[in-house]
Structure 1
């Protein structure tokens, strides 16, 4: 009986978190987005530079993926806009350069655009579909988010560095696949652990 009570409290805690997140006032949603922007900036300080690529391995992708779950689609994307804006106006937390003038034309600028798009996709599906909150659907969403980041990043990398297709993949995608897959698994595990499996916010697949 005690184990059942613990499970019930855990299930209720997940539902309570989701209800809290969905019912926040605008100012508090902005505050949550700002918090995720700060987390992204802190995670950007975890970086490993590769001798053969202008793109470093960083910890910020995990924060980007989780921003869509914690803040929702719109405010998850907004958190990344805040992160990028604060970096441009002077906070030295970008993984590659603290110079805002260089950032906009840097080889990694495309990845930052992907940071804005990925949380929108993850958050929208997570909010609108109860079934998307299970582990495997979350893992698929996280991998999709990583793929979106790669697409924007690779396109910009190729344009800035004048790389061909294979060189772009070799320097801007392939070296990061395994570590980003691990991040996607961790993010999916975390989101599955905190998201309810019951309806709250008029989901598309809720029981009528």
Structure 2
């Protein structure tokens, strides 16, 4: 296994599936950005913040790749959108999207992927309950960035940016979906680990 890698710290699920190398890391980082772009198009068109599949993709990328590669993947996603690729929700792009009401969530994605990746490197993703908690905590992080940003953006537009208005448009509609996404993400990761363990067990038995 190559020691040249962009990954920092303990191995994650990605390292159980692929050998560590810079080339592999670059492919995985790009794939994570692509997955997030696709998930962004799965949307319920609300204004100012649509409900999308992005958060689930962000957390899966973080848990699968770990802190460093996960953050790099979501940073790449943001940059691609800023320079003009239609990767944001509703196939939008450009700096104005990040400067608008949803920009804080996009920035928060980078930190959410980093944090859930950090938890995965401490084996929070190995058991379903802990994986669910990791996804649940990770899903809060975009709101920590997104809500203040949303308040500022609404104020700049001359719209109501009181605490109640911001929570009503930027938090409350997403709570139930966030719990469902956390459960779904934990289920996906748990199944992936189950598959890896079965593969390893078969390899060990055939080597005996």
**Residue in 1 that maps onto 2:173:** 175
Q: TM-score, normalised by structure 2?
A: 0.79
1:59-208 counterparts in 2 under 5 A? Answer: 59-95=53-89, 98-129=92-123, 132-162=125-155, 163-195=161-193
Bigger RCO of structures 1 and 2 (CA < 8 A, at least 6 apart): 1
Gaps of 5+ in 2: 1-11, 156-160, 198-208
Partners in 1 of 2:71 and 2:25 — Cα distance?
A: 12
CA offset digits 1:108-147 (Å, max 9, x no partner): 0000111100111111111123x55211111111111110
Deviation at 1:159?
1.2
Partners in 2 of 1:106 and 1:177 — Cα distance?
A: 22
Any conservation in 1 of the 2:41–2:53 contact (CA below 8 Å)? yes
Instruction: Say whether residues 1:26 and 2:22 are aligned partners.
Output: yes
Partners in 2 of 1:137 and 1:128 — Cα distance?
A: 11
Any conservation in 2 of the 1:17–1:194 contact (CA below 8 Å)? no
**Residue in 1 that maps onto 2:51:** 57
Deviation at 1:17?
5.9
Output the aligned Cα RMSD: 2.2
Partners in 1 of 2:189 and 2:16 — Cα distance?
A: 15
Any conservation in 1 of the 2:87–2:93 contact (CA below 8 Å)? no
**Residue in 2 that maps onto 1:40:** 36
Partners in 2 of 1:84 and 1:17 — Cα distance?
A: 22
| SS of corresponding position for 1:195 | helix
Q: TM-score, normalised by structure 1?
A: 0.79
**Aligned residue-pair number:** 180
Gaps of 5+ in 1: 1-14, 199-208
Partners in 2 of 1:127 and 1:150 — Cα distance?
A: 23
Which one is further off, 161-170 or 187-196? 187-196
